[in-house]
């Protein structure tokens, strides 16, 4: 299975995503990258985990499990210091912590509109 067109979302190590198959990547004692694929029990689907010595095989297995069991996505947990390789697909970074009122970076608001919105929120907070 070709993985070049696949896009994955990165999660923090230890995060549990109930509607996802997780692929964890780490470097073993021998320096080689190894992968684990797992998912949480959901409905009539039992939890499971398997280890792979090849990242592409692990990603293919994760995609197959996602399709077979109806999970929403495949997510990636990377060991600190381990770099994602483009040949495995595209990896979206975890979202940055944002102000609780929301992120306007992906909107078409002008700088003046953003300033006006922020000023209004601050005025409301001070009231």
* Residue located via tokens 């398997």: 50
pLDDT value at residue 1 = 44
Tokens found for residue 85:
């390789």
- What phi and psi values does residue 119 have, to the nearest 5 degrees? -65, -40
pLDDT value at residue 2 = 46
pLDDT value at residue 117 = 84
Tokens found for residue 10:
């990165």
Tokens found for residue 55:
């990242």
Query: Of 81, 80, 32, whose CA–CA distance to 58 is shortest?
Result: 32
What's the predicted TM-score (pTM) here? Answer: 0.71
109: Cα within 13 Å, side-chain hemisphere: 13
User: According to DSSP H, which parts of the chain are helical?
Assistant: 55-69, 111-126
Question: Per-residue pLDDT tens for 90-100?
Answer: 999 866 554 55
Domain boundaries, the chain: 7-92, 96-127
Q: How do the pLDDT tens digits run along the chain, 127 residues long?
A: 444 469 999 999 999 999 999 999 999 999 999 999 999 999 899 999 999 999 999 999 999 999 999 999 999 999 998 999 999 999 998 665 545 556 676 677 788 888 888 888 888 877 6
Going by their DSSP bridges, the two strands 33-39 and 20-27 should be labelled as antiparallel
Tokens found for residue 40:
């949480």
């Amino acid at each position: 299975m070709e993985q070049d067109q696949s896009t994955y979302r990165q999660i923090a190590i230890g995060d549990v995503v109930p509607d996802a198959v997780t692929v964890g990547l780490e470097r073993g004692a021998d320096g080689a990258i190894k992968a684990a694929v797992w998912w949480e029990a959901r409905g009539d689907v039992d939890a499971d985990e398997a280890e792979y010595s090849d990242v592409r095989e692990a990603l293919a297995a994760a995609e197959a499990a996602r399709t077979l069991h109806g999970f929403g996505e495949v997510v990636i947990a990377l060991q600190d210091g381990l770099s994602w390789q483009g040949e495995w697909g595209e990896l979206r970074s975890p979202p940055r912590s944002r102000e609780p009122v929301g992120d306007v970076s992906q909107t078409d608001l002008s700088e003046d509109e953003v300033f006006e919105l922020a000023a209004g929120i601050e005025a409301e907070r001070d009231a």
